[in-house]
Amino acid sequence: MKQALEKIRQAAVQELEAIQDLKLLDTVRVKYLGKKGELTAILKQMGSLTAEERPVIGALANEIRCDIEDKIARHTQELREQALQKKLLEEKLDVTMPGKQQPVGKKHPLTKVLEEIEEISLGMGFDIAEGPEVEYDYYNFEALNLPPDHPARDSQDTFYVTDTILLRSQTSPVQIRVMETQKPPIRIIAPGRVFRSDAADATHSPLFHQIEGLVVDKGITMANLKSTLETFIKKIYGDDSVVRFRPHHFPFTEPSAELDVMCFNCHGEGCRLCKGEGWIEILGCGMVHPKVLANCGIDPEVYSGFAFGIGLERIVMKRYGIDDIRLFFENDDKFLSQF
């Protein structure tokens, strides 16, 4: 029986040493020390021993049990230690490694300048209004004093969705929507996308942006228009910029004008930038036509107003010396990251 016990000890130790997986260690305990284990099986035969042999074998069996348990515990500890070392090694961080660059986006130049203009407008007491890009013919043309056969419709080659619905060709329809729903005094700007079926070239794009302005109140005159727009333009282009108003025609304003700013490049001499003119056209404006007020239920005998429309792309192109409008819409990172 002694030999049998020693064999168990040897076998258990061998098996234990071969195990590299923590989870398998318990199978050794069960196999040798468990209720149905090999050591237990031998102890069950103790009854057949003599009274002298019994304590000797009993002591040996206990010693072997302690020995195996001890070895399992030690091996467990070793394996845990190894696992920990392996994990630490794998998770080692080299804090001196250079970090990964995360490219950060930038605001589009159109957005930057638009936000600046919105800031200026808010500072001057304007609210910001919006209107739909898919619009009724009525708002885009008819209510603005452009009846169906009006020749000025041709100058804005319009994308029609149906006979009565179109992609707005100007931000002026927002004037109508605001006047229909708000009572004077009205002081708004309305920035947004507009669409015209122009072939794209350096100065034309089928999609571009305008900023509409509208002021309606009692006693508004051309003097208010001039002073407001002069202030506005000086805030955009700088205090030393020089502006002039030139008579023009728009169906929805009477009288109408275009505002030019003196060429920043040649100061009125005439150069390539201003095409020899000395002046650069910036916006259209005028006193809101009495018919337009009346179309919106505002009594032109009581109220008057002025309106203006600015092309955003043109302002941004002049500001940064950009010579092709298509650059704004091509999403070329090399171009956009310059601003």
Asked if 139 interacts with ligand DAH (CB under 6 A), we say: no
Nearer to ligand DAH, 212 or 313 (CB): 212
Asked if 173 interacts with ligand DAH (CB under 6 A), we say: no
Size of the site for ligand DAH (CB under 6 A): 11
Helix (H, G, I), strand (E, B) or coil at 52: coil
Asked if 141 interacts with ligand DAH (CB under 6 A), we say: no
Q: How far apart are CA 311 and CA 117, in angstroms?
A: 12
CB of 115 vs ligand DAH, minimal distance in Å: 21
Asked if 186 interacts with ligand DAH (CB under 6 A), we say: no
Contacts of 122 (CB under 8 A, 6+ apart): 128
Measured at CB, which residue is nearest to ligand DAH? 309
Asked if 309 interacts with ligand DAH (CB under 6 A), we say: yes
Return the residues of window 207-226 that contact ligand DAH according to CB under 6 A.
Answer: 212
Token pair recorded at residue 159: 């994308």
Within 13 A of 188's CA, how many CA atoms are on the CB side?
22
x/- string (CB under 6 A) for ligand DAH, residues 226-265? ------------------------x--x------------
Burial (CB < 10 A; 0-12, 13-18, 19+), residue 209, is buried
Within 13 A of 27's CA, how many CA atoms are on the CB side?
9
Stretch that binds ligand DAH, among 61-69, 106-114, 259-267, 282-290 (CB under 6 A): 282-290
Terminal Cα-to-Cα distance of the chain (whole angstroms): 92
Asked if 142 interacts with ligand DAH (CB under 6 A), we say: no
Residue type, 154: D
Q: Strands 165-167 and 134-136, how do they pair?
A: antiparallel
Nearer to ligand DAH, 33 or 174 (CB): 174
Asked if 113 interacts with ligand DAH (CB under 6 A), we say: no
Q: How far apart are CA 241 and CA 218, in angstroms?
A: 30
Return the residues of window 29-58 that contact ligand DAH according to CB under 6 A.
Answer: none
Write out the residues near ligand DAH by the rule CB under 6 A.
170, 172, 212, 250, 253, 284-286, 307-309
